[in-house]
Structure 1
């Protein structure tokens, strides 16, 4: 848990991902479409990736990737991020976290 907290500290948007996960890529693309620049950690390319993945599972991330943190808070996985987007809540969340400056509701 401490390892995860260190990685998300002082970053507005952090995504834990695996390079082979298409949903992780989709979520990264969605967040980037708002103009945000998320910090992405590819767990399968990190020497301590398995430890981080276990910590994410212990935090309730099922499946472990994508795991999205906005404003140092766990938002959830792909389903939760997509739901926030459909409810027009993802943009304001990114603004409040300082990931983007402005957001215009579509």
Structure 2
């Protein structure tokens, strides 16, 4: 859990992902298209990825990826992020965290 918290606070937007996960790809693309440059941790390419994945599940992220943190706080997985995007509140969160300026 401490490792996840430390990694999640390293940048305004942090995404825990798997390179083979289509929903992870979709969420990363959503952020890139908004001009956000997130820190992405590919769990299937990390030697400690399995431990991080278990920590994310314990945090309440099911499935474990994609897991999105904005401003060091856990936002949720793909469904939550897409809901925030559709209702317009994702952009405000990104502005408040300093991930985007406009």
TM over 0.5: yes
Q: Secondary structure at the match of 1:25?
A: helix
- Matches of 1:10 and 1:99 in 2, distance apart? 12
Answer 1 or 2: which has greater helix percent: 2
SS class of match (2:36): coil
TM-score (norm 1): 0.94
Alpha-carbon RMSD = 0.6
SS in 2 for 1:4: helix
Residue 66 of structure 2 is matched in structure 1 by 66
Within 5 Å, give how 1:24-103 maps onto structure 2. 24-102=24-102
4+ residue segments displaced more than 3 Å? none
- Taking the aligned partners of 1:10 and 1:4, their CA distance within structure 2 comes to 10
How far 1:10 sits from its partner (Å)?
3.4
> Number of matched residues?
102
